[in-house]
Amino acid sequence: MQAYQEQYLKEMGIELWVDRDKKVSNVVEEIAANNTSVITKAEPVNKQAHVFPEELARLKQEVSVCEKCELHETRTQTVFGIGHPEADWLIIGEAPGADEDRQGEPFVGRAGQLLNSMLLAMGLQREQVFIANILKCRPPNNRDPKPEEVLACESYLRQQIDLIKPKIVLAVGRIAAQNLLKVDTPIGKMRGNKYQYPDSELPVVVTYHPAYLLRSPREKRKVWEDLKIAMRLYKEL
């Protein structure tokens, strides 16, 4: 467990600063002890794609032929989301990018690899959570989503939440957080707080997007603080 935590905390850019008389191994053990409670319903982890239950599969099919907004004209395919259909953790990002549009899976490429490291530092594997986006189609040239596009996809995301029944949501990135929570607060001011998904008691924690961390690696320590908040909240549920 020690080597496991050290590896992924290192990938997250987190150095283990300790008191002179306190060993690094003790710090890692403390982190690991906190993380042992962060285990979802997906055990043992199946490395293959999960088979969605009937209602979630039906929703995915509905999304795949959606023409509610103009994005259907330029997409390669929709990106419904991936992961365990009964996951405790729901990760919500902004919208598919070029790689996601081609592969039909959210958070692939370098940003996806960093998200995987974030999850692993928490004691979670990608297959144990569910990952989705505010939008199910890629905006051309990766531009910001338009309000009408977010509105068109909103019912799909709410249905995903209703069917998956997660215990906690991690919103990554400004656009995901602001649209999910219906606010215009800068993400820097949203960090460090507990929110609730509208019209529910589902807790939401906000942090920076992995793509932003690739451009601003010094912010990774702030993200680790956000993840620790999320883990504490989950532990208290």
Q: What is the pLDDT of residue 119?
A: 94
Q: What is the pLDDT of residue 32?
A: 45
Q: Could you tell me which residues are beta bridge partners of residue 93?
A: 133
Left (φ > 0), alpha (ψ -120 to 50) or beta: where does 137 sit? beta
Q: Could you tell me which residues are beta bridge partners of residue 171?
A: 92, 206
Taking the chain (237 residues) in runs of 10, the rounded mean pLDDT of each run is 55 51 41 43 46 96 98 97 97 96 95 94 94 98 95 97 98 97 96 95 97 93 95 95
Q: What is the pLDDT of residue 50?
A: 75
CA 18 to mean position of chain CA atoms = 29
Q: What is the pLDDT of residue 84?
A: 97
Residue count (the chain): 237
DSSP-derived 3-state class of residue 184: coil
Q: Which domains does the chain have, with CATH numbers?
A: 2-236 (3.40.470.10)
Q: What is the pLDDT of residue 15?
A: 54
Could you report how far apart the first and last alpha carbons of the chain are, in Å?
24
Q: What is the pLDDT of residue 125?
A: 93
CA pair distance 82, 147, nearest whole angstrom? 24
* pTM score of the predicted model: 0.85
Q: Helix %, strand %, coil % for the chain, to 5? A: 50, 10, 40
Structure tokens at 181: 């929570």
CA pair distance 190, 7, nearest whole angstrom? 29
Burial class (CB in 10 A: 0-12, 13-18, 19+), 182: exposed
Q: What is the pLDDT of residue 51?
A: 87
CA pair distance 231, 93, nearest whole angstrom? 19
